[in-house]
Amino acid sequence: MAVATAPSASLGAGFRQMYVNGKWTDSSSGETFDVVNPATESVLASISAGSAQDVDRAVAAARAQFDGGEWSKVPGPQRSRLLNRLADLLERDKEYLAKLESATVGKPLFEPTMLDIPNSIDTVRYFAGWADKIEGRTIPTAGAFGRPVFNYTIREPVGVIGAITPWNAPTMIAAWKLAPALAAGCTVVMKPSEEAPLTTLHLAKLVEEAGFPAGVFNVVTGLGEVAGAALARHPGIDKISFTGSPEVGREIQKVAADGFKRVTLELGGKTPHIVLPDAALDAAVGGVAIGLFANSGQICAAGTRVFVHRSRYEQVLEGLGAAANGVKQGDPFDPQTQMGALVSRKQLDRVAGYVRLGLEEGAKVVAGGDRRSGKGYFFKPTILSNVSNDMRIAQEEIFGPVGAVMPFDDVEEAVRLANATRYGLSASVWTRDINAAHSIAARVRAGTVWINGWGAIDPRLPWGGFKTSGIGRELGARGLDACTEEKVVTVVM
Ligand code: NAD
């Protein structure tokens, strides 16, 4: 498999420093870490590895802007204009950002071109629209101490937000955190994943160009256990907004508890697809395949547990096997490519390890099942049968292009199996029966249920998980609320 080195090879040029208090700086330790192109295994850039001291500087800058600095006096309509300007700049640089995302994450160029970058722009514009519409309420009560009262509420920005992001959709998730925070009047210190920090650094360049005051948005690059941990425990942070694994999310919540920081957690998933016997099977097979193989399965909402009514099981299994075998995998910059590489060797080993484990537990390979030879962290699109829902491959998040297809006999069993997981991020139901669709949607414990579709995410729709998939919501009006505190003012008359 030929993997082109151009045009991705030069994309990392010019990246090294982080963005703190409106200045581009090296880390205080002078240390760096390498960002690798997963399709070619070549180093794209060496990036400053932020220390606790760098986090301190960034938090101090964000605090100063929040606590009476220039930003604290910027009214909603002006915040809206700044965010719209940022959206314009993202629009201007969308092709470059898509290439940068593709080169760092390994996803085929069409994905960030069609999804991640347009969604990021849309998110910034959506929250730009909210910035001058953050309103309070008047609430009638019976009075107090025998006197009439007048109550009203104010929504105030929650404060300085520490935002920690993963590598799988780095631009989009950065936008999901940055846009509502700045719309609400908060300030932000962002720590992008060490695997894919480049688009977040470019975002910082655009924030600077848009004219946000220095210190309102800061990016501290670095390792999770150093820079991320320092941010999570920093006393100058009011809220941590984290997207990543449940294991790190749990640690963050524990550390945040010390300072009573507000916490939003967007964690993993093990999304079930439920295919009923009356489903339009071609559409279901196509939709399930997209949900499995988009971004090489490195999506929190990846639909990795496919429950199919026994009467359709063989047909769907065959269809998914054929879909997997038909995926064109290779150079992310080749326009024909449908699936690229996994993000890192570690991720490749993890996915290969899970498939091995599945086979040891009795699963059978219908398609794929191993890595590709040659350069790059490529794992073949994989379909497994002979899986039961209690096997580790059906319970643990693999974060790779691996789907387990399992039969069920009736709707009761399908719902029970769908819910038999510690996760609850999303689910898909495939049927022409609207009663069954809505009834299953009501009973599946997940933050989002798609009917006859998968992955229809939009900044206007709240996003988040039940159970181990997270706490709180991002996006939509609830996502804005999560960046505010509600204050009550009572006038005793
Ligand atoms: P991760 O938890 O390893 O890392 C996420 C971020 O946390 C990175 O920036 C990392 O540097 C940082 N980090 C690591 N250790 C830390 C610590 N001790 N303290 C503070 N920060 C620390 O996750 P990942 O491998 O980057 O991403 C994959 C995970 O993210 C998957 O579980 C996936 O499901 C989840 N995810 C969830 C959503 C969602 O919306 N629910 C979206 C995308 C990804």
Question: In order of start, what are the domains of the chain with their CATH numbers?
Answer: 8-267 (3.40.605.10), 272-458 (3.40.309.10)
Residue located nearest, by CA, to atom 30 of ligand 1: 244
Q: What CA–CA distance (Å, rounded) separates 414 from 436?
A: 12
In short, whether 248's Cβ falls inside 6 Å of ligand 1 is: yes
How many residues does this entry show for the chain? 493
Pull the structure tokens for residue 83. 């965010």
Q: What CA–CA distance (Å, rounded) separates 215 from 187?
A: 8
Residue of 35, 243, 457 best suited for mutating to test ligand 1, as the one with most atoms within 8 Å of CB: 243
pLDDT digits (tens, 9 = 90+) for 311-349: 999 999 999 999 999 999 999 999 999 999 999 999 999
Residue located nearest, by CA, to atom 10 of ligand 1: 224
Q: What CA–CA distance (Å, rounded) separates 208 from 213?
A: 8
Mean pLDDT on 176-189: 98
Q: What CA–CA distance (Å, rounded) separates 257 from 94?
A: 39
In short, whether 163's Cβ falls inside 6 Å of ligand 1 is: no
**Ligand 1: which atom is nearest the Cα of residue 246?**
32
Q: What CA–CA distance (Å, rounded) separates 283 from 302?
A: 17
CA of 224 to the centre of ligand 1 (A): 9
Contact 217, 207 (CB under 8 A): yes
Mean pLDDT on 406-432: 98
In short, whether 396's Cβ falls inside 6 Å of ligand 1 is: no
pLDDT digits (tens, 9 = 90+) for 123-176: 999 999 999 999 999 999 999 999 999 999 999 999 999 999 999 999 999 999
Pull the structure tokens for residue 229. 């941990």
Please compute Rg for the chain using Cα positions: 23
Residue located nearest, by CA, to atom 19 of ligand 1: 229
In short, whether 330's Cβ falls inside 6 Å of ligand 1 is: no
Which CA distances in Å does 46 have to 35, 151, 222? Answer: 6, 55, 11
In short, whether 167's Cβ falls inside 6 Å of ligand 1 is: yes
The residues carrying an active-site annotation are 266, 300
**How much is the pLDDT for 7?**
62
Q: Quick count: other Cβ atoms within 10 Å of Cβ 487?
A: 11
Banded model confidence at residue 2, pLDDT cuts 50, 70, 90 = very low
**Ligand 1: which atom is nearest the Cα of residue 266?**
41
pLDDT digits (tens, 9 = 90+) for 464-481: 999 999 999 999 999 999
Mean pLDDT on 422-429: 98
For the chain, the first-to-last Cα distance in angstroms comes to: 78
Mean pLDDT on 438-462: 98
CA of 100 to the centre of ligand 1 (A): 20
CA of 153 to the centre of ligand 1 (A): 35
pLDDT digits (tens, 9 = 90+) for 426-435: 999 999 999 9
Q: What angle do CA 96, 99, 104 make, to 5 degrees?
A: 125
CA of 253 to the centre of ligand 1 (A): 13
The alpha carbon of residue 161 and the mean position of all alpha carbons in its chain are separated, in whole angstroms, by 17
In short, whether 245's Cβ falls inside 6 Å of ligand 1 is: yes
**How much is the pLDDT for 10?**
87
CA of 242 to the centre of ligand 1 (A): 7
**Ligand 1: which atom is nearest the Cα of residue 255?**
19
Residue written as token pair 């204009």: 81
Q: What CA–CA distance (Å, rounded) separates 242 from 362?
A: 36
**How much is the pLDDT for 4?**
46
In short, whether 297's Cβ falls inside 6 Å of ligand 1 is: no
Residue of 191, 193, 270 best suited for mutating to test ligand 1, as the one with most atoms within 8 Å of CB: 193
CB neighbours of 14 closer than 8 A, spacing ≥ 6? none
pLDDT digits (tens, 9 = 90+) for 247-268: 999 999 999 999 999 999 999 9
pLDDT digits (tens, 9 = 90+) for 5-38: 446 778 998 999 999 999 999 999 999 999 999 9
CA of 300 to the centre of ligand 1 (A): 10
Residue type, 423: Y
CA of 280 to the centre of ligand 1 (A): 36
Helices (H), 93-193: 94-105, 110-111, 117-130, 170-184
Q: What is the dihedral of CA 174, 224, 113, 91, to 10 degrees?
A: 40
Average per-residue pLDDT for the chain:
97
Smallest CA-to-CA distance from 320 within 288, 276, 362 is with: 288
Positive or negative: CA dihedral 192, 196, 202, 205: positive
Q: Flag whether the pTM goes above 0.85.
A: yes
> Angle of helix 198-210 relative to helix 76-92, nearest 10 degrees?
130
Residue located nearest, by CA, to atom 16 of ligand 1: 224
Q: What is the percent of the chain where pLDDT is above 70?
A: 98
Contact 190, 166 (CB under 8 A): no
> Angle of helix 117-130 relative to helix 170-184, nearest 10 degrees?
10
Helices (H), 361-408: 392-395
> Angle of helix 94-105 relative to helix 198-210, nearest 10 degrees?
160
Residue 210, H or E segment: helix 198-210
Asked whether residue 225 carries a pLDDT value surpassing 60, the answer given is yes
- Beta strands in 248-289, from DSSP E residues, in sequence order: 262-266, 272-275
**How much is the pLDDT for 3?**
45
In short, whether 233's Cβ falls inside 6 Å of ligand 1 is: no
Q: What CA–CA distance (Å, rounded) separates 235 from 223?
A: 20
In short, whether 269's Cβ falls inside 6 Å of ligand 1 is: yes
CA of 432 to the centre of ligand 1 (A): 37
Q: What is the percent of the chain where pLDDT is above 90?
A: 97
Residue located nearest, by CA, to atom 40 of ligand 1: 266
pLDDT digits (tens, 9 = 90+) for 81-114: 999 999 999 999 999 999 999 999 999 999 999 9
In short, whether 33's Cβ falls inside 6 Å of ligand 1 is: no
Pull the structure tokens for residue 186. 């908060």
